[in-house]
Amino acid sequence: MTHRIDCLQYANWSEKIFRQMREGGVDAVHVTIAYHENFRETVLNIERWNRWFEQFPELIFHGRTGDDVRLARETDRTAIFFGFQNPSPIEDDIGLVEIVHTLGARFMQLTYNNQSLLATGCYEAEDTGITRMGKQVIKEMNRVGLVIDMSHSADRSTIEAAELSERPIAITHANPHRWQPALRNKRDDVIRAVTANGGMMGFSLYPHHLKDKSDCTLDSFCAMVADAADSFGVAHFGIGSDLCQDQPDSVVEWMRVGRWSKEIDYGEGSSAAPGFPPQPQWFRDNRDFATIESGLRKKGFDDSEVAALLGENWLRFFDLNFGAKAE
């Protein structure tokens, strides 16, 4: 049986969800442990995860390498990989890149939606690309094995990151812009830059990133996957569902606003009060990965291609990119 990997979730974690991961045969999940937190606040989030690892050792454990995905499969557990949706945990200190990697972080976005000290976010009017600090941080991330994630970054910044990085980068959760023209979805030249340099992209199941949003059909989603695979190669894609299961609507405010504004930032979707849109009925939680698998088969993907898309591509990427750079 193929390894199943979801390369982005931000759920309201609980024993229920951990058990659903096991029911769905999900071997590894990249979890967001920071949106706008500083270093000390991120450490507190790691402490909380350590308590969960202690409480539910038969369900989850802290993943650090690709081999931990294999161990998860062998022991019927889910390996949890830490990631940041913002570089805020490293504050303005490049030395913290190695520290957060030592603490278990394996992905860090160079931006959320706004300009950061490193690059430009996708909501800014002008994209000035990778900053002076950003170039240095990319080198340091490459050195220690902290993956550059450009999921919320603007186009020029993403293309420059792919070209500057000496190791492959990732867009862990987004879809092609030509299928659904959301601000967060990626244009062809961006996807091409990332995949041409050996990078990976995870397809998102978050309704604002889907054609017809919550009413998106499984067939439409799988047709999008087939089109992307035909255009850029099946080896560069996986799932990054962006599942925000059981989160209260108030959490959207923290995601969008953090501390940078006194006003509500509505972001993608609605001008009404922000909230989480309902998931498509065919993907509501971790038990629904089998539904995606059957949809991909109906679209004509063979066994090896389905295995690649559901986890083997991410596993290969983990093997190559989570450790220190070879001298």
Average pLDDT over residues 304-322: 98
pLDDT digits (tens, 9 = 90+) for 216-241: 999 999 999 999 999 999 999 999 99
Percent of the chain with pLDDT over 90: 87
Q: Where are the domains of the chain?
A: 5-321
Mean pLDDT of 210-215: 95
Could you please state the CATH topology (level 3) that the domain comprising 5-321 is classified under: TIM Barrel (3.20.20)
Whole-Å CA distances, 228 to 82, 133, 142, 176, 232: 27, 33, 27, 8, 6
pLDDT of residue 128: 97
pLDDT at residue 273 above 90? Answer: no
pLDDT in tens, 30-69: 999 999 999 999 999 999 999 999 999 999 999 999 999 9
pLDDT confidence of residue 8:
98
What's the pLDDT band for 327 if we cut at 50, 70, 90? low
Q: What is the mean pLDDT of residues 300-326?
A: 96
Q: CA-to-CA distance for 77 and 143, rounded, in angstroms? A: 30
Provide mean pLDDT across the span 305-317.
98
269 has pLDDT over 70: no
Checking if the pLDDT of 12 tops 70, the result is: yes
Higher-scoring residue by pLDDT: 85, 273: 85
Confidence of residue 323 (pLDDT cuts 50, 70, 90): very high
Is pLDDT of 326 > 80?
A: no
Question: pLDDT band at residue 270, thresholds of 50, 70 and 90?
Answer: very low
Please give the backbone phi and psi of residue 272, each rounded to the nearest 5 degrees, phi first: -80, 180
Q: Say what the pTM is.
A: 0.96
Structure confidence by residue, pLDDT tens digits, 95-151 = 999 999 999 999 999 999 999 999 999 999 999 999 999 999 999 999 999 999 999
Arithmetic mean of pLDDT, 172-191 = 96
